[in-house]
Structure 1
């Protein structure tokens, strides 16, 4: 983790620099694992585009005690390791992209 900014009592902005290029599209999310809670993954949306140096930003709200969100917001600091899962897309974002391309069944491309 390269930055940890508290934005309120239960909200933090986190910046992380992956070891490899992390390619993703708008609307996708990834799962995060805190070293403080091994083998426990939770989904988070990426906040904006990666920086020039490849850093990714996440906005995390603590949803309760004992979970990944609390570990990330209250118990994680610059220099700590966070694991990233592969980029994923929601059913809605996949459906929207396919519908706009004319690929989704029941839709047609071009003017109507």
Structure 2
């Protein structure tokens, strides 16, 4: 039960953090151009939507959905991880997605073995 709660906590925290970072990246970043919507749309589909799905996957303990979230957000998270800015934290949220996924899987295996 403790593993399940930890996986939920990490998944939700990672999702909420990604949403917060996405808003900062697009609306409070001095280097972003609010008149150019293409970067905002790209990051919406690659960071914001997976974060929302991560929250849902965590709360419902859906392992497959969390795997999709991790793989979906990994390319741009890795790209941002190697930038010298606060947006490198997207790499950390991606790692939290993976840890949450692994903990969900472990909790599922433990539940099956107890039966």
Same fold (TM over 0.5): no
Q: Which has the higher contact order (CA 8 A, sep 6+)?
A: 2
Point out the structure with the larger strand share. 1
Query: Which structure's CA Rg is the greater one?
Result: 1
